[in-house]
Structure 1
Amino acid sequence: MHKCAFIIFLSLVLLAEAVHAQVKQYRVGVLYWSMNIPGQVAMREGLEQEAQRINDAAKASGKPSVVLEAKVAGDGEQGIENQVRQMKEFITAKVDMIIVQPTDNAALADPLIAANNANIPVVAYDQYISRGKLAAYRTSDNYQAGFLGGEYIAARFKDKPEIKLVLVEYPHVSSTVERVNGFLDALAQSKRSYKLLKSYSAVEPVAGKKVAGDILREFPEQGSIDVVFTVNDGGGLEVVNGLGNAGRTEIQVATVDGDPASVGNIRAGWLTVIDAAQFCGPLGAETMRAAYAVLSGENPPQHALVPVFPITQETLAAYPGWMGPLPESFAKPWPSVVPLWENTLRVVKP
């Protein structure tokens, strides 16, 4: 080979290697909460499908791809401890980013601060973290979820002087607290008086089954409860099953998530009258898009909310399921201070 030609060839090889070296892979540590709560499984599916879409586009354009390294915390107190340890492991491993669905708002504060100090951006979804700096935060509009349930219950009990109410809540994470706040605020804004008989705690099936037994034991009389509000279907479905199987079908249940089994209960007229459904797949996908934007040096909105859908017998036909897509906006067929349901992402903090 002629010397000049060889030099040109060698230069092209070195240039190609340099370009290849610049097209890197981002290592993204992903901390999932539970694989026992179907809605959370759907969020994972949406996130991972979006990661695959990003990688397909990156391959075509020469941009960096993402490699997800996943860990699952598990349920209960042990799950909280697991996730704290797992987040510290990702920080030690010096991943490029951490995506986390927090098991507890407060417990992850110190690991988040440690990630900030290590210059590892953290994107949270579904729940926030109480201290430290998040690069982005994506969640369902949880206050809206509770509010939709409250206003619908208010419309169904417009002629009753006082609603006898039981809450099945979970005060450890922001999303479920916001749902309760929204539900009670909607009753107040609708000028519906209520008596809170008792609050219980459950977000997964084992606790939900126990709560059903506790309610039946403590309120055994027919008509002693008008409404039960459960903050999610993870625990709420077992509450519905327990009450219904005991013949307490006079109780009306409002809940949140959109689990297919809960949708089936609404269709069948089995206790549940409204389920404010998360778009779990789109939420996961939106989280991954925000994370990739941060990795790419862009500035996506810091805090944004995915709308939730009010599934009732009146709106069943318009509901597309957990994986979306978001349906068209529509006028609610019941009285509301916000008459139009809208299908847009709501930016809380740019």
Structure 2
Amino acid sequence: MRFFCAAILCLAALPAMAENFNVGVLFWSMNIPGQVAMRHGLEAEAARINAQAKREGKPGVVLTVQVAGDGETGIENQIRQMRELIGQQVDIIIVQPTDNAALSRPLKEANNVGIPVVAYDQYISGGTLAAYRTSDNFQAGFLDGEYIASLVQPDREIRLVLVEYPHVSSTVERVNGFLDALRQSKRSYKVLKTYSAVEAVGGRKAAKEILKDFPAKGSIDVIFTVNDGGGLAVVEGLKAAGRDEISVASVDGDPASVENIRVGRLTVIDSAQFCGPLGAAAMSAAYALLTGESTPYHALVPVFPVTRETLALYPGWLGPIPESYSKPWPSGTPTWSGSLKVVKP
């Protein structure tokens, strides 16, 4: 199936008629596989909405799509793109923010002209969102932390390296969850150093710096990477250098990272997002707002802890979200739940 086009995407052969809603969609990156999967889920949900709307004689949606790109350039691009959508007077904007703070002013501009904005994956600081959907990022870090704690002797200090990205809320929450789990598990740890990476280029750079700063085998116990976009490159760099003694905990559920777990290649846990259902949740919330239906303001899509023990239960990025099950390691919350968590109605 072909999901993408350069500018305007009309799904399910829906004619661009006045009664259809014009939905502006701003994606962050098409270089981070998890974000590509989120886009697939969003567009598949739009197609489902259009098919149902056609059957029921209701308004459908026409998507006007733009992609920001990575790094500082991507942030600037998305500011411009959001203002372009405001100028086009779209009915609603769905945005995956490249930066929590950078879109504050454009969000306020949308508020001023009455265009509702739904953010997903990341939050926007400043202005008023109509709805917010994201993965349970604190849970993602916490699941990683409690699993790592279960692998380490209680009296041993964990020598820890963080590969983080402090510019967006999701990755900050993952670090907070990871460290909170270690503390709640009463595991002593020392953060040796932090690095920044969220995509492959940054990950390769971080791997080189880690190997330079900690050249001796056994000098690092655990590396926590906030996503697979950068984390996979870190694993590749460490593996090439023969640093198999390091355990890696990551977040996202990239198929390559899941395979690393399967074959025992450094990564021991990856808290996987349900990227497709997350994108679909954002589109569903937007359509509910357009049609006057009730939808929660803030809701979290659960994440799934992929380990060698749970591989058989994980369906992949596009879901469906599995049933609840008992975690096969010690936990203060021994049952994993696949329910959407409403934070604010």
Which amino acid is 2:331 matched to? S
Query: For residue 162 of structure 1, what is the aligned residue in structure 2?
Result: 157
**Any residues of structure 2 matched to 1:68-83 within 5 Å, and which?**
68-83=63-78
2: distance between equivalents of 1:227 and 1:118?
Answer: 49
1: distance between equivalents of 2:341 and 2:118?
Answer: 17
2: distance between equivalents of 1:296 and 1:43?
Answer: 23
Answer yes or no: is 1:128 the counterpart of 2:123: yes
Query: For residue 242 of structure 2, what is the aligned residue in structure 1?
Result: 247
TM normalised by structure 1 equals 0.93
- Contact preservation (8 Å) 2:158, 2:189: yes
**Any residues of structure 2 matched to 1:1-350 within 5 Å, and which?**
24-350=19-345
2: distance between equivalents of 1:225 and 1:100?
Answer: 38
2: distance between equivalents of 1:136 and 1:299?
Answer: 11
Query: For residue 11 of structure 2, what is the aligned residue in structure 1?
Result: none
Deviations 1:230-286 (A, max 9, x none): 000000000000001100000000000000000000000000000000000000111
Number of residue pairs aligned between Structure 1 and Structure 2: 331
Runs of 4+ in 1 over 4 A off after TM superposition: 20-23
Which amino acid is 2:184 matched to? Q
2: distance between equivalents of 1:27 and 1:158?
Answer: 56
1: distance between equivalents of 2:19 and 2:158?
Answer: 59
Which amino acid is 2:45 matched to? E
2: distance between equivalents of 1:196 and 1:68?
Answer: 44
- Contact preservation (8 Å) 1:326, 1:343: yes
In the TM superposition, what is the alpha-carbon distance from 1:23 to its structure 2 partner? 7.2
Which amino acid is 2:249 matched to? A
- Contact preservation (8 Å) 1:327, 1:343: yes
Query: For residue 9 of structure 1, what is the aligned residue in structure 2?
Result: none
1: distance between equivalents of 2:213 and 2:279?
Answer: 39
Matched position secondary structure for 1:85: helix
- Alignment RMSD, CA only? 1.2
Matched position secondary structure for 1:138: strand
Q: Percent identity?
A: 72
Deviations 1:114-145 (A, max 9, x none): 00001000000000100111111000000000
1: distance between equivalents of 2:67 and 2:283?
Answer: 17
- Contact preservation (8 Å) 2:118, 2:130: yes
Which amino acid is 1:156 matched to? L
2: distance between equivalents of 1:160 and 1:237?
Answer: 30
TM normalised by structure 2 equals 0.95
Which amino acid is 1:111 matched to? P
- Contact preservation (8 Å) 2:24, 2:92: yes
Unaligned runs of 5+ in 2: 1-14
Unaligned runs of 5+ in 1: 1-19
Which amino acid is 1:163 matched to? I
Structure number with larger C-alpha Rg: 1
Deviations 1:175-197 (A, max 9, x none): 00000000000000000000100
Matched position secondary structure for 2:257: helix
In the TM superposition, what is the alpha-carbon distance from 1:299 to its structure 2 partner? 2.7
Matched position secondary structure for 2:99: coil
Higher helix share: 1
1: distance between equivalents of 2:198 and 2:333?
Answer: 28
Matched position secondary structure for 1:253: strand
2: distance between equivalents of 1:167 and 1:22?
Answer: 50
- Contact preservation (8 Å) 1:35, 1:74: yes
